[in-house]
A and B are shown apart, each in its own frame.
Chain A
Amino acid sequence: MSEPGVLGFAVRVVRPRLVGAVAVGIGVVATRLIQAFALAVLIAALLTGRSWETALWGLWLAAGMVLARAVLLWLGESVAQAAGHRVTADVRRLVLEHLLSLGPSYVAARQSGTVAATLVENAAALETAVARGVPSRLLSWIGPLLAALVIGIVDPLSAVLIAVALLIAQTAGPLWNRIGRKGHDQLFADLAAMDGGFVEAVQGMPTAKAFGATGRVRARLATQAERVRVASMRVLNALFTQMLATRWAIAGAGATVVVRAAVLAADGRISVVAGLAVVLIVLVAFTPVEEAGKYRHASIAAPLAAAKLDAFLTERPAIPEPEHGETPMAAPARIALENVSFRYPGRDEDALSDVSLELRTGRTVALVGPSGSGKSTLVSLVLWLLDPTSGRITIDDHDLRELSQDQWWRHVAVVSQDTHLFPGTLRENIALARPDAPLDEVEAAAADAGMSADIAAMPDGFDTPVSERGTTLSGGQRQRVAIARALLTDPAVLILDEATAALDGRTEQLVHRAIARLARDRAVLVVAHRMATVRDADEIVVLEGGTVVERGSHETLLNNGGTYHRLVHSGATL
């Protein structure tokens, strides 16, 4: 087994264990064969009217084999377990590390459920196929052939019959695999759709309920579940038909061999012991094939899962790491976008075109513009989650691409409208970028973000656990965690992406004071819809349709009577 890709990788990491599992399996087959012979001796003595005592050694030998097999099975089980765990752990690590190298822009372009399925389920799908499937597939050949070999000593024709039955049983499987693969692809697609349906049912239910549309969610899921049922049955029916062929081959060969052995023994052409041994061996000869059948399902699913993983693993990061190593970088004082354009892959229009912008320590640049004007894209470019299609970004006159992302991210912090809280305590969440920050600094950052009162009201203060998507915290609280996070990082460049959208008046006031204090020694980029948050900016840049349509101070822009003037006078500001 030296397959390329993740499946080959999985086999390689556990190869010694797989060899061990096969060795144990051969041992198990041997105990069965010897036990059959021992029993044959015992029964033959009775059938031929000899003394029971003369054959007692057969009983003891059989008992010894029973014990030996128990020990071997136990050993085999623990080897398989260890191998299985190792496969899952190593594949999971491989995949997660690759995800990290692909970075956030990879995830942003995809449904997170699909990405999660790739990472979790496809990795797990390899476990059984490799740890159990690979050794049992080998044993399903070795076991019956060993039995045929032993039977061949007595009657070569019976050995041939067994071998033929084995061939039929074994080729029915791969043949079916080729037919069944398409059905499997369909099943996987239907399962993925249903999984998506469940995620939607959970997340969208409040909305569906408010609009009396739970019936539609239900009907949709019922349709998806029905598709899964039909696809499952199509795959299974093919499998059952193959089982039928196998069963007939094995049972037919077995019955023929038994009748033949009986006739030969009755005619005296073989000894009664030999005849009985053949009968008893035939009963257990195909046990390894049945064992392998248990893992056939997993073995079919594995190449599909592996193909998905391989596709994922060959994805290349949107922003390649620079060749040279990590030189420490001083806090940047000037960040410039020079004629930057960006177009999302597969789109016909630039999301941003020819934008120039300068951020400087101690200055605040405000970005305003209607939704869809390119503000978020610009933020992604400054965060270096995207690379400009043309133009460049410079940091103190060096091209951003000369740095590594890690170096750059050390100096930027962002407070965005969509804050993710990670399971863990509040303190861990605030100290995300500085996990070793002392408690007093975390407290200070939280206080500056206006969280003191909220935290005092929490059952365990800073040790209060918060959860996925921050559901135990209100929108305002979540946003203040994000602000505290940024404050604690003490970044040279601070990006406030509609940072105050979810705060009520009292909290917003607290936050604004903290931000104003903080902005003094930083380069700040504010993206906001509210004029009040931008009027004190040193420069206001007005974006519309991906281009800069106006720039200047609040007063200048108001006097210009352009887009900014229109935006300001369109509604009362608060």
Chain B
Amino acid sequence: MTARTTTPSPETIDRPLWRLLPYMASRPVVFGLVICSGLLYYATTVTLPALTAYLFGALLTAHSGACGALVAGIVIAVAAAGLAQWWQAGIGHDWAYRLLKELRVRIVDGIARATPGRLLGRRTGELAEIAKNDVSATEMFFAHTAGDYIGATTVSLATLVAVAVLSPPCALVLAVLMVLVATVPAVLARRAGEQGHTVRAASAEVASETMDVIQGLRELALARRGRDYIERVLSRGDALGAAHRRYARRAGAELVTTELLLGVGLLALATVAGIQAGAGSLAVHWLPVVIVLGTSALAPVATVSATARTLGDVRAAAARVLAIVGYPAHVDEPATPRQVRTAVPPVEFDNVHFAYPGHSDDVLRGVSLRITPGETVALVGRSGAGKTTCAHLLLRFWDTTHGAVRIDGVDVRELATEDLRRTVSVVPQDIYLFDDTIADNIRLGRPDATDTDVEQVARLAGAHEFITALPEDYNTHCGERGAMLSGGQRQRIAIARALLTRAPVLVLDEAVSSLDTDSERALHDSLEATRGTRTTLVIAHRLSTIRRADRVALLDHGTVIAEGTHDELVTSSTDYRRMLARQHTAMPTS
């Protein structure tokens, strides 16, 4: 999808962790406190061992001047060490979880902008995976990176200065070690990113294949292929395991390298300090302090390097999250919106061309169609002719590539989205019921509608009867994708939902395909009764539906090739006759 809009993909997100920083900066006071807590925590990790080391050296070399004060200092340091860790963990995580919430909401916004269409070319299972696990993965960055990095760096540098005061050669050794411990993960960071990406992709793959097995279990069972597909999921698991192992091998190598550096560093420091003490340029009672300070100053750097070790994963996760968060809208809000003023407005497709982004083929090649106020026009044609695309353009899910769709003479591009939604309502081909009560599902477009309103439209849609037969009638929960309801029942709820909005323009996209003939007739009768109060575009396959329309437009290869009443077209259009003839020979009417 790169033809018209450059949509971000995880691969093109540059320096993803850097781009998370604005989120952190959005609460500067808390950010400041998080940094303070990190500083305090790391300060205690150095002070406590240094105090005890000094006490030890002083006692042994009989420099026991302020012993009581030292012990008091140690007691305070022990108390502070616990409290500082407690504070840092608490404030850091609280902050991180607030940012996660923010990101999650923004992901929903991104999904909203990208709908309809395949988001980032991904399957829905994978998308949910991003929203869940990848956002959680960024917690690592928010809670353990920012505060930690600043605290660890500052305290390590301060310690380095302290060591330098005591013994410049020791400080030099320490400085070299710090650089080494800090740079090891940085060197491997690039590979970490790639591997993190592979691991996440493999884990998303497992989740999505498992979902396929679950949702398609009936087909698999009947085809006796369940075992094969389970093996397939498990082999995905193997691929995931392999990716994990590669990732772990590198992380393991880093762990070992860091451990080696810390160990060798300690020995080097001890050696240099020993030589210095032997030469008399370092007071002997300071020797334990220098060694302890050195090791304590390296520990925070090692912690930072350990956090950095997992950043590869986080970076890949952040890139995917940001790709959704930064997804551009298909359409823009008008700068100076206009309004539909007529109660029952006309609808006009004026030489509409359309190609889906990233596709060179036009789906619509100059569709012109006018629906006068109160009129019902049936759009017919074979599947793939562009019927649903017309509906989507009227709903302004997409913008035309050329030409315009107008309601009441106003280009839909000039209507505020809110106005457009109030004006146009739809019964879509794919019906989705939210995990909510039936009443709330019907109320979707008008949350403030009264119970009476809801019941009234349910009656119109022929849904009232079966709803009241349900255990909790209108308060019955629909469950995932309305699993407890039949296709026809779901369709009737969708129809009620569309009618409730009282939008003067109604799009019925194969809205009766799952209805039995009884229900279809009942629905048409009730729509007939309110005819003239709305302009209707019907996408239809059934002759019964087509016949009831005022006019019929035959769509083929992206253009309207015939237009008129059913009777007119039967006499004037060979294409229309051919279409009907095909259907009649296939299915004789009663």
Q: Are A572's CB and B589's CB within 8 A?
A: yes
Cβ-neighbour of B587 out of A210, A217, A254, A573 (below 8 A): A573
| Known contacts A93-B234, A409-B221; is-contact A255 B74 (Cβ 8 Å) | yes
Q: Mark B185-211, 1 if CB is under 8 A from A, else 0.
A: 000000000000000000000111111
Knowing A70-B256, A233-B94, A247-B81, the reply to whether A43 touches B417 (Cβ < 8 A) is no
Would A47 and B60 count as touching, CB distance under 8 A?
A: yes
A42 lies within 8 A of B270 (CB): yes
- Which single residue of chain B is at the shortest CB-CB distance from A509? B586
B82 smallest CB distance to A (angstroms): 4
Closest to B434 in A: A204
Interface 0/1 of B219-238, CB less than 8 Å to A: 11111111111100110011
Q: Is B3 an interface residue (CB 8 A)?
A: no
Chain B residues closer than 8 Å to A178, beta-carbon distance: none
The 10 closest A-B pairs by CB, nearest first: A66-B263, A212-B421, A532-B587, A420-B216, A371-B488, A433-B223, A509-B586, A505-B583, A77-B252, A211-B445
Complex alpha-carbon distance, A403 and B226, angstroms: 19
In the complex, 13 of the A-B residue pairs with CB atoms within 8 angstroms, ordered by the A residue number, are A43-B270, A47-B287, A66-B260, A73-B255, A81-B252, A100-B217, A262-B60, A279-B288, A422-B219, A505-B382, A506-B382, A506-B579, A568-B517
Determine whether A153 belongs to the interface, using a CB cutoff of 8 Å to chain B: no
Partner of A248, one of B74, B82, B124, B486: B82
Segment among B153-161, B451-459, B508-516, B527-535 that sits at the interface with chain A: B508-516
| Inter-chain contact A422/B216, CB cutoff 8 Å | yes
Tell me, rounded to whole Å, the shortest Cβ–Cβ distance linking A354 to chain B. 21
Asked if B222 and A414 sit within 8 Å, CB to CB, the answer is: yes
Distance between B498 CB and nearest chain A CB, rounded to angstroms: 8
Query: Quick check: B128 and A218 within 8 Å, CB to CB?
Result: no
Q: Determine whether B118 belongs to the interface, using a CB cutoff of 8 Å to chain A.
A: yes
Q: What 0/1 pattern do residues 178 to 206 of A give for CB contact below 8 A with B? A: 00000000000001001110111111111
Asked whether A313 is an interface residue with its Cβ less than 8 Å from the other chain, the reply is: no
Assuming A88-B241, A120-B207, A422-B219, what are 7 further A-B pairs, CB within 8 angstroms? A39-B267, A202-B131, A205-B115, A209-B112, A266-B60, A505-B579, A530-B517
The verdict on A57 contacting chain B, using a C-beta distance below 8 Å, is no
Residue A320 at the chain B interface, CB threshold 8 Å: no
CB <8 Å contact, A74 and B253:
yes
List residues of chain A with CB within 8 A of the CB of B30.
none
B169 located at the interface, meaning its Cβ lies under 8 Å from any Cβ of chain A in the complex = no
Chain B residues near A88 (CB, 8 Å)? 237, 241
With beta carbons under 8 angstroms apart, the residue of B86, B132, B238, B517 that contacts A240 is: B86
Question: Which residues of A sit under 8 angstroms from B227, Cβ to Cβ?
Answer: 100
- With the chains together, A65 CA to B260 CA distance in Å? 10
B85 at the interface (CB under 8 A from A): yes
Given A66-B260, A111-B480, A251-B48, A573:B544 Cβ within 8 A: yes
Name the interface residues of A420-476: CB closer than 8 Å to any CB of B. Answer: 420-423, 432-433, 435, 467-469, 471, 474-476
A104 pairs with B518, CB closer than 8 A: no
Number of interface residues of B (CB under 8 A): 163
**Residue in B78, B395, B517 whose CB lies within 8 Å of A252:** B78
A42 to B252, CA, bound (A): 31
Cβ contacts under 8 Å, B108 to chain A: 198, 201, 214, 217-218, 221
**Other-chain residue from B62, B77, B226 in contact with A100 (beta carbon distance below 8 A):** B226
| Given A206-B432, A506-B579: A571 in contact with B520 (beta carbons within 8 A) | yes
Is there an interface contact between A81 and B432, defined as CB atoms closer than 8 Å?
Answer: no
B432 near A203 with CB under 8 A, answer: yes
- B124 x A120 contact (CB < 8 A): no
| Smallest Cβ-Cβ distance to A405: which chain B residue | B221
| Bound-state Cα–Cα, A332 to B160, Å | 86
Chain B residue contacts of A196, Cβ below 8 A: 435, 480
Provide the main secondary structure of the chain A interface. helix
Chain A residues positioned under 8 Å from B266 (CB to CB) = 39, 62
B233 touches A210 (CB 8 A): no
Contact A213 B52 (CB under 8 A): no
Tell me whether A203 and B124 are in contact in the complex, defined as CB-CB below 8 angstroms, given that A212-B421, A507-B383, A529-B516 are known contacts.
yes
A window 99-151: CB within 8 A of B: 99-100, 103-104, 107-108, 111-113, 115-116, 119-120
Question: Given the complex, which residues of A lie within 8 Å of B229, measured CB to CB?
Answer: 422
Q: Does A504 contact B (CB under 8 A)?
A: yes
- Among B53, B112, B580, the residue within 8 A (CB) of A214 is B112
Could you say which of A107, A229, A385, A468 contacts B98, with CB atoms under 8 Å apart? A229
Contact of A52 among B56, B77, B275, B586 (CB under 8 A): B275
> A241–B86 contact, CB under 8 A?
yes
Measured between beta carbons, the chain B residues less than 8 angstroms from A383 are: 218, 222
Q: Are B487 and A251 in contact (CB under 8 A)?
A: no
Q: Are B123 and A468 in contact (CB under 8 A)?
A: yes
B341 touches A (CB below 8 Å): no
Contact B105 A469 (CB under 8 A): no
Question: B170 contacts the other chain (Cβ, under 8 Å)?
Answer: no
Select from chain B the residue with minimum beta-carbon distance to A471: B118
The answer to whether A85 and B486 touch across the interface, beta carbons within 8 angstroms, is: no
- Contact residues of B between 78 and 111, Cβ < 8 Å to A: 78-79, 81-83, 85-86, 89-90, 93-94, 97-98, 100-101, 104-105, 107-109, 111
- B residues near A119, Cβ cutoff 8 Å: 210, 214
**Are B60 and A474 in contact, CB atoms less than 8 angstroms apart?**
no
**Chain B 417-447, CB within 8 Å of chain A: the 1/0 string?**
1100110011011111011000000001101
- A53 to B: closest C-beta gap in Å: 10
On whether A212 and B382 interact (CB within 8 A), knowing A89-B234, A113-B480, A207-B428, the answer reads no
- Decide if B97 touches A571 in the complex (CB within 8 Å): no
CB < 8 Å neighbour of A208 from B57, B444, B586? B444
Q: In the complex, how many angstroms separate the beta carbon of A325 from the nearest chain B beta carbon? A: 16
Indicate if the CB atoms of A529 and B515 lie closer than 8 Å: yes
| Contact yes or no, A406 B224, CB < 8 A | yes
Q: Which residue of A lies closest to B422 (CB)?
A: A212
Contact of A266 among B59, B221, B263 (CB under 8 A): B59
| B23 contacts chain A at the CB level, 8 A cutoff | no
Complex Cα gap A282–B489 (Å): 71
A88 to B82, CA, bound (A): 36
Cross-chain contact B214 with A115 (CB below 8 angstroms): yes
The yes or no answer to B357 lying at the interface (CB within 8 A) is no
Give A340-383 as 1s and 0s: 1 = Cβ < 8 Å from B's Cβ atoms: 00000000000000000000000000000111100010000001
A241-B86, A259-B52 as given contacts; A508 in contact with B544, CB under 8 Å: no
Across the interface, A506 reaches (CB within 8 A) one of B94, B582, B588, namely: B582
Let me know if B55 is at the binding interface, CB within 8 A: yes
When C-beta atoms are compared, the residue in chain A nearest to B87 turns out to be: A240
A167 within 8 A of B: no
Render A251-285 as a binary contact track against B, CB cut-off 8 A, 1 for contact. 11011001101110110000010011001000100
CB pair A195–B132 under 8 Å, yes or no, is yes
Instruction: Please tell me which stretch of B242-250, B369-377, B557-565 contacts chain A, meaning at least 4 of its Cβ atoms lie within 8 angstroms of it.
Output: B242-250
- What residues on A are CB-neighbors of B515 within 8 Å? 371, 529
